[in-house]
Structure 1
Amino acid sequence: MKHAKSSSAPKRARTSKECSADHECTDDNCSCCGDGPVQLDDQVLSQPAHTLLALALEEIESTGDRAVVIKLFETAIEKFGNEKSLEHAWALLRLAEYAEFMDYAEKAVLIAKELGTAGQMEASLCGLLEARAQVLSFCLEQSNWRDPVPDGGDSDDDVDEDTSKPIVGEQKLVDSLAQLVAAHNALSALSTAVPSFIDAYRGTLTFLFARREAHALTSRMLLVLFDAAVTLVYGHEGWLATSSTAGIDSGDDTRKIAHQTALVWAMAAAECSVDSAVVEARLEPIVKYLASQPNDTECCKLYAQLLLVLCGCYEDEEKAMDAYDLASSKLVQAHRLSPNDPEIKSQLADMGQSFD
């Protein structure tokens, strides 16, 4: 018996195995099949739709039990019925993103189109919903999106082919991400929308970050996706002077994801042979921020990782060595702050550094 994180502590239980999704599925690699079915107990079933939606999101962050998450989403959606509301639309979209099943996203967009003219905040949230649905659609249109990662990882030849592989329908992705950023900017300008903006920022960043795990995501695709993610991070965290949302706290977990987006982008940029000056300029805001946090272990670690990526981008040997030396010193600083961190010890050992 498992317990969801809720003030009323509703419980849910699982039974035998078969697909829990309510759609017909013939995909052997379907991400929402094979983990069910799930039976929610009466206490959970008695909850209103918005509570079930909250439980689904909490389940993702805690145990990540896919079958339970999907069942909670589906039960919430059943309770919404024919209700035309933003909450219903977002429940459909979040299930679509989680299960990677486009039918739910299409239903969400239909509801959003009916609600999009209700007011500025509603229009911005509906625009964001449509943009995220378009990004999801683009991902699922890639022919090998659900291909499993080969055993033993990719060979060097595979990596070279992956790096140069064009994106099918790249302009659609670029346009969708531009719409996504514009919707976030519109939300951030509304003082009455601060809670909605924080929730939207957290949700969008998590959605984009989760896409990195798909095998079909080429380096070029990562570069485009995470460039938008970095733009959102800079705007939210106040690393750019134009941000109207600087200082809003979105939580430690979201902040950690935000910092990691820059690393994912930098690694993709290096693999795509983006000019080192372009990489430097793009990373400058976060590098300045990380440099100002010498007593934060995670910031020191990330700073070192970014410097090592930059090291590989530089053609100038002296600049590369300077970046390497600074990365080493940042890892030493991180080790002083957290002497038992195994990741730091491993990285220092790889660099030939003594940490005893």
Structure 2
Amino acid sequence: MLLLEEEPRSVLPRSLKGSCFFQSEELSSVLTQKPPHTPVMLKEVLHYLDVQPGQVVLDMTFGGGGHTKEILNMVHEVTVLALDRDPTAISLAQQLAKEHSGRVKPLLGRFSELEALLADMNIKPGSIDAVLLDAGCSSMQMDEAQRGFSLSKDGPLDMRMDGERYPDMPCAADVVDTLDQQALASILTAYGEERHARKIASAIVKARRVNPITQTQQLASVVAGSFPAAVLYARKDRLQRPAHVATKTFQALRIFVNDELNELHAGLRAARSLLRPGGRLCVITFHSLEDRLVKRFLQGDDLSNLDQYHFSPRKQGAGKGKLLDEKRDGGSVDWLPLRRKVITPEKDDVKDNPRGRSAKLRAALRR
């Protein structure tokens, strides 16, 4: 047997132009250098996708192209549809397409735009053999200070994964300088699971009365200033390394700005529609909100209204009757798990690529 083991940011004015400017010319250097990207759980992804010659694979988050490059190197005559919402990533995909004529087809867009993009290419539902979805930020986005994703590198408080594609799309600086204290606290609680959300939101509102918060390290300092110095690095990551108290604040803002949970759900629905029966899905997530969403989607949970859906861990015995499509083998009428338990990186992989320490992989077969 195979079984082995709507949008919340609408509270911002639509006319808001945004106080962040994505410097595409400063990112041009990324295209002339080797992408600083180490694919997460590469051997596990290759194992569970089990790509065969002649198949069509959809990489829904191309990023630096690490997973796609290895698939191309390992499997002959495979075609990879390379999707990403980041124009910089698509530029890399276009370069790769030149190196592998006809084997890579770059697609610029979000998960929610995918089915329309593929329809324009005459790719029909039920025709894809394997799908990889690697959620979260890419290393390129984190390492480029001008993108505003990293609190360790000073740059504009931007965080828009789409870059300049949507000039009217609010960036993180717009969020922290526009929303009221209660709304800010709600964002930090919902998307960062931040226990001190009210305290941090209050500090942000007080600080912006003096000066607009437009830089990443400016925001990090504001958040840090709301805590005693002794607890600045009291939090620990999974390697027991000190983690800055603003880490969850940055996560929450990034998720909110990019509408990541709704987009992830749209991507999962698209994968369900596009995969053929017997097709394989691998999803890599990096925090509990994403992983719980993926887990419940694969179980057949109804996630039709994410704005009202709380991704807190389900208590024992709770939610009976909600998973109407759940089957005894641990999947739903749509999915058969390729492994019951979530897959995490091996210790050696974490040492080689610390950024992947929180990654979780779920793999399933389309029924």
- Please tell me the TM-score bracket, short chain as reference: under 0.3
- Structure of higher RCO (CA pairs closer than 8 Å, 6+ residues apart): 2
Q: Which structure has the highest strand share of the two?
A: 2
TM-score with structure 1 length normalisation? 0.28
